[in-house]
Structure formats: structure tokens, C-alpha cells
Amino acid sequence: MNLLEAQLAYPFDDTLPDVGSTFEVMPGIKWLRMGLPFALNHINLWLLVDEYEGENGKVRGWTVIDCGISNDATCAAWETIFATQLEGLPIVRVIATHCHPDHVGLADWICSRWKVPLWMTTGEYTFARMMSAALPGADGTSMFPFFKRHGLADPQMLAELEGRRSYYPTLVPSVPTSYIRMHDQQSFRIGDHAWRVITGFGHAPEHAALYCADLNLLISGDMVLPRISTNVSVFAVEPESNPVQQYLDSLLKYKDLPEDTLVLPSHGKPFRGLHTRIQQLFDHHAARLEEVLKACVTPQSAADIVPIMFVRKLDSHQLSFALGEALAHLHKLWKDGMLKRIIGEDGVIRFQVY
């Protein structure tokens, strides 16, 4: 546990549910943990007891919140959950907090299997459909000219990235062809309790966290994580975005929640200390922005900034996010009027202090 983590409270200590099993966070709320084939090697998913009114009237069962990626191991883990953890009740609804593969990858599989609807925000649903279909601008090929324009020139790394052309469709082979829309501050019931949607930006197009005042419980998705800082990146499809600013603005939406809110994050362990963690995240980005600004005394591309922000060796999967995050911090400083943007004779975009 690092020093920042030690400032938070972990009510379940080091408890982690085994793959294919569950841990009861509180009555009617189960915690699942699925593996991921990345450096970030797990995702937390949630089952909530529900009574959902569908086409054939009210049905008592479980609402699934987030789904894991589409691969054999995750499907097998879900099959075990279906067989052993549902207490004889069906799945009645799937909610995806956002469009990233570890959250929506198996949504279509679960929805089709149980004949239930998918709930998402419009921003997340449309991006999931767009990326799963590999539409131009959102497909794997779009990142190569984008990364090159921001200074990535390593032939080996470009070759490795070339192998990731079908990254998203491989992990999210399909998305349901219809959905039920969630929107900011919407209130709806899951089982006996009202839940409020809190949308967030910067990490994903229209991320939906869920807060229940009755239970003082926040399902935070990727917006507030206890151990790592959420990735905020600029991508080719929105090349002049300002995701760091969007993310910091979004964190302020959680300031009205109690400090002792139990936070159920998508990665890491459930914790209390929400306001403390939000301040840690503000401090983290302030420190990153300061080091980027200092580096830009001379012109710097996003690729130049990556080793300043990320000192460890990165594989191609990590580099794609690191480059996007380096550019995101450059963009905030640029949009704040602290850096100017320069396009060199080589076509590479660099940033420098005025």
C-alpha cells in the first residue's frame, strides 16, 4: 500500500472475490472480479438485486453493472456466476458505466442470453457502436497518423501498434442494437432503492457513475479509483479535446457526497475517503502539469513528454494510453494559454512556453 492509499479506509481489508465467485458488499449487492490480459489485470463488476419491469411485467432478479471483455475466460467466469451465484434468480438488466472494452465487452452476450435491455448514456452507447464497427476515425488505423503527428517515430513500437488495428472489435465484437438511455442526475430504482446518475467526462465520452443516498454508496466506474489515476487521453477522433480539464471539472460533482461514502470502484478495492481521494487526484494532475510545463521551455511533442510522465518501460498497449495522456496535459496547458502550439517542418506538433 502506498502513502496515498494509506490515507483511505478499506472496510473489507484485503478481501478479493475469486473469479467465478462473489463477495457480498451489503445485502443485495455482490462484488465480482474478472481478469484482464493487461498490466491492469482485473475489473470489478457488480450484481444488484432488482425488480425490473419488462415487457412481461415485473421480474425479480439481478441487475449487472459492467461486463468484462469478450474472451473465453470471462465468458467461463460468467457461466460459473450464472450457475452458482444468482440464487435461482435471472439477470433482468445490464448497465454499462462506459464504452471501454472491460466494461461493455460482453454486454451484448449477456443481454442476448437473458433477453434483457442495456442501459447506457447516449455518449457511451454511440461510441461503443462506432468503435465496435471500426468506423473511419474511430478504427485502429486512425491512430497511426495521429501518433506520428505527435512525435512517435520508433519503428518497433509503430510495428507493435500496427498489430492493434482490431483492438476494440476483438474485445467488443458486438453491441446491442438498442439501448435505454441514462442521463445526468436521472433517478431510477434498482430494487428497493433510488439511484442517481452522475455523468463524468475526460476519461470517456459520457461516463455514468451511480449514487444511492439510502445506502451512502457510489458505484464510481473508472472516475474515482483508489490506487491509480484514471487515464485521460486525447484520441484521433477528437484531436483538439481538453480531457484533463473535463475530468477535473467532473470530479467536482462528487463534492456534495458524504466523505464516508462507500466507493465501489472498477479497479482496486472498495474504500471510504472520497473527498480525500478527489484531492489526491487534483494534486496528482497539478504535479503532472507542472513537470510538463517545465519541460516545454524547449519545444516538446507528446512523444517527448511520455518518458517524463512515465519513467517505466511501456509496452504498446500502455504506450497508446501514455501518449494520449501526455497530449492531454499539453492540451490543458495550451488551452489555458500557457503553451503555444508549433507545427514543425517535419509535420510534428510540438508545444513550448510563450
* Over residues 309-322, mean pLDDT: 89
User: With bands split at pLDDT 50, 70 and 90, how would you rate the model's confidence at 299?
Assistant: very high
pLDDT band at 155 (very low <50, low <70, confident <90, very high): confident
Between the alpha carbon of residue 49 and those of residues 36, 59, 97, 157, 248, the distances in Å are 26, 11, 18, 46, 33
Say what the pTM is: 0.96
Task: Give residue 227's pLDDT.
Answer: 94
As a whole number, mean pLDDT of residues 191-220 equals: 98
* Residue 277 pLDDT greater than 80, yes or no: yes
Dump pLDDT digits (tens) for 125-147: 999 999 999 998 888 778 888 99
Pairing state between β 23-26 and 29-35: antiparallel
Q: Please give the Cα distance from 175 to 340 (Å, whole number).
A: 40
Q: Are 89 and 62 in contact (CB under 8 A)?
A: yes
- Does the pLDDT value for residue 170 go beyond 90? yes
Give the model's pLDDT for residue 14: 94
For 217-246, write each residue's pLDDT tens digit: 999 999 999 999 999 999 999 999 999 999
Residue 4 has pLDDT above 90, yes or no: no
CA distance 312 to 239: 26
Whether residue 247 contacts residue 224, with contact meaning beta carbons closer than 8 Å, is answered with no
Higher-pLDDT residue of 64, 316: 64
| CB-count burial class (<10 Å; 0-12, 13-18, 19+) for 86 | middle
Write down the pLDDT at residue 317.
83
What is the per-residue pLDDT across 44-101, written as a single tens digit (0 to 9) for each? Answer: 999 999 999 888 889 999 999 999 999 999 999 999 999 999 999 999 999 999 999 9
Q: Quick one: pLDDT band at residue 5, thresholds 50, 70, 90?
A: confident
CB 239 within 8 A of CB 146: yes
Report the percent of the chain where pLDDT is more than 70.
Answer: 99
Q: In Å, what is the CA distance from 316 to each residue of 93, 217, 251, 319, 344?
A: 35, 36, 29, 5, 26
